[in-house]
Amino acid sequence: MKNYLEKLINQENLTTEEMKDAVNYCFTDAVTDSEIAAFLTALQVKGETSDEITGIVDVIRNESLFQGTSISGAIDNCGTGGDRSYSFNISTTSAFVLAGAGVTVAKHGNRSITSKSGSADVLEQLGVSLSFTKEQIEELLLENQIAFLFAPNVHVALKPFTKVRKELKIPTIFNAIGPLTNPINLDSQLLGVYRQELMPILAEALHKLGRRRAVVVNGAGNVDEATLAGENQLMLLDDGKITSFTLRPEDVGLPYYSKDEIRGGNANQNAEILLSVLKGKNGAYYNTTILNAGIGIFANGKAETIEDGIELARESIDSGAALAKLEYLINYSSRIPSEVF
């Protein structure tokens, strides 16, 4: 580890294999919390490369007991976090809209680290289990087209990193790679990122990790979701080709809303917002959700344009399909024995 730390401190990039070696060492009993903290901090200061991201993601996914499910064609729409915008749970709300539109969603997420309410916090508040087994995940994806993969449950080996991240209380490479470590073999992905300079790096990493199609988005105001506050920066990965474009509210016929208008609160407040959107209450939350769900449907390839995706998202909510996906997940969770839930 000392050699790798020295390279990082000297602003030298690690190869994919060096990154794998360093991360594998972090999973051994020989590593100390100080070494992990130094490693994460040095990477953050230097700046991550697509090779380094690919290396750490490969190791983490290989450590997960949830890898190797028989599901195909799934998408994830998890953002990196770290933008400190304190918005409502946009990607979690959008995930149910995606599922209601017929897209299979393997929603990967965690509790709050740099925000007031993470995806796990709000779903737990709604009565969704955080302890699904691999078999239950497969069943839910087949029958309900959406399941939630709670990161600590599917990445048990990451406990040493989790402890250090909580103590550091700063964004690390895990804020960039969290969405990439989903153990399901994803076909497509919508990845929000708050650091615009990470967009091409993550797009390249998505390609190296085998995504057929993906969209990386940096929202107006450097938010890790698309917003209606101005110009959003997007990168589309389509069969290995990466193209960049911008998206403004008027481009897709949606109104302007400031970032303050999509602020959320604690898990209980965000759960109420999520339900209000899925029940069709119009406003900033609703329109921000259909924007992000529309981009997700486009990223999956179910819609040829983002405008078409937004219309499918609107139909998913208005028909009740999106809410039905959540209700199914809650009912399924209620049947899990209490010692598992």
Q: Residues comprising the binding site for anthranilate?
A: 79, 110, 165
Helix (H) or strand (E) holding 341: none
Q: Report the distance separating Cα 311 and Cα 307, nearest Å.
A: 6
Residues tagged in the binding site annotation for Mg(2+): 91, 224-225
Scanning the structure block, which residue is given the tokens 């797009």? 203
Query: Which residues, in sequence order, are CB contacts of 114 under 8 Å at separation 6+?
Result: 81, 82, 84, 171, 175
221: its two tokens: 């105001």
CB atoms within 10 A of CB 279: 12
Residues tagged in the binding site annotation for 5-phospho-alpha-D-ribose 1-diphosphate: 79, 82-83, 87, 89-92, 107-115, 119
Q: Report the distance separating Cα 327 and Cα 144, nearest Å.
A: 10
176 close to 57: Cβ distance less than 8 angstroms: no
200 close to 230: Cβ distance less than 8 angstroms: no
Helix (H) or strand (E) holding 127: none
Residues tagged in the binding site annotation: 79, 82-83, 87, 89-92, 107-115, 119, 165, 224-225
Helix (H) or strand (E) holding 39: helix 33-46
226: its two tokens: 């698309």
